[in-house]
Amino acid sequence: MSLFSKKETTTLNVEGMHCQKCVARVTEALEGVEGVTSAKVSLDDANAVVEGHAYDADALVAAVQGAGFGASL
């Protein structure tokens, strides 16, 4: 990965979150995906904004689903 790679931003719709513990689980799952530098998860908006370099968007969805929540791009 080049240090000069353009930063990517992806917004995911997240289903099934009911509390801040859910937000923390989704955040941890997304930040565990290779290439992700930050994940801001909103309970009120039912979404997550992910930033990073050269990550796989399908891996983001899989990570959220693996944490027990629904996700779509």
- Local mean pLDDT, 10-residue blocks, the chain (73 residues): 74 98 98 98 98 96 98 97
Q: What's the one-letter identity of residue 68?
A: G
Q: Using alpha carbons, select from 65, 64, 33 the residue that is nearest to residue 51.
A: 33
Q: Could you give the 3-state DSSP secondary structure of residue 1?
A: coil
Structure tokens at 73: 């791009």
Q: pTM score, two decimals? A: 0.92
How far apart CA 9 and CA 41 sit, in angstroms, is 13
Q: What are the residue boundaries of the structural domains of the chain, listed by start?
A: 29-73
Calculate ∠ Cα 41-22-36, nearest 5°: 40
pLDDT value for 26: 98
